Structure 1
């Protein structure tokens, strides 16, 4: 009998900040090199998670510029000596106001310039893994989603939630852009794709297409 093989990628969710934002530690099981996606705060919890799983962090990924997702990205990247990749450059507006937003929410925030802005169709690497980048505006204009096809896993930030969708009443939000991004860029990834949202529990696209009161197929067909 052959030995069971490890999946190429593993992920662990670490809720951070008073807003309970899902920061994701993802890593390549072959190299044990990894990344944190959306380190909004509580860096001591993130350091502990990386140590617990034996992961060497080589970069930070950011889905969008809101304080609970990237308020501590700059501080963490400097501490670790690693680059920041993402979001799309259209989120400069939000990243520039991180310090002010941090005061309002009681969360530490520091503006930053990513080492790499991301665009639709780009790819990012973590160890030997390659993740596809999808620009999914609406919640913010520069929001991106990371997808690892082999694992059928997507990190969607605040685009989509179990039973809900991202808010679009913030500055530069756009409801129709969000709906178009979900149906045009996320649904084609396949119903069996599991997604980690920015808040709450993971789900999969098939479940949301059946039951989500905002973007279920039956809801959109009735418009």
Structure 2
């Protein structure tokens, strides 16, 4: 870790690297297992896996697992009449051992489709507010469907960048294979928890 690097654990410092990390995401087919995606490093080692439980399990529920298959985050979309009438639907990510206020990791506000172009996707992080002057901690800027977006903190720093892999830039871009660059010291589990929600939002909207 460099002298100026700051460790910013949100899920756990176990998921914070001493240097910038480039990871590859490969989506799984949206079949009976619910789809989701696998995250690998440059040596093809599995770092994370996301299971989408919507096909045969609970709709609006995702599980982020580590490389050993152990659950890290349980992510649920908040349903109900209030959410249906509101401008934003909410996704909440919890530590998997206990679902309660003290274990809430993040809240992501999903704009309705007809307002999506005019509303940023913003994320609040439990009680670990990084910038008390703003009512959000992180913002997704750019186009996730085009795999050209970034997760920015409330101070304007880019903490993770989603983009097309260099070897595929001259070929047809596939939404099923892309890379994510996570800056040093930042929590990779949080980043892929947010990406899991983005993947579900945009994949779900393209099914029909």
Using structure 2 for the length normalisation, give the TM-score: 0.29
Relative contact order higher in (CA < 8 Å, ≥ 6 apart): 2
TM-score of the aligned structures, taking structure 1 as reference length: 0.28
Name whichever structure is richer in helix by fraction.
Answer: 1
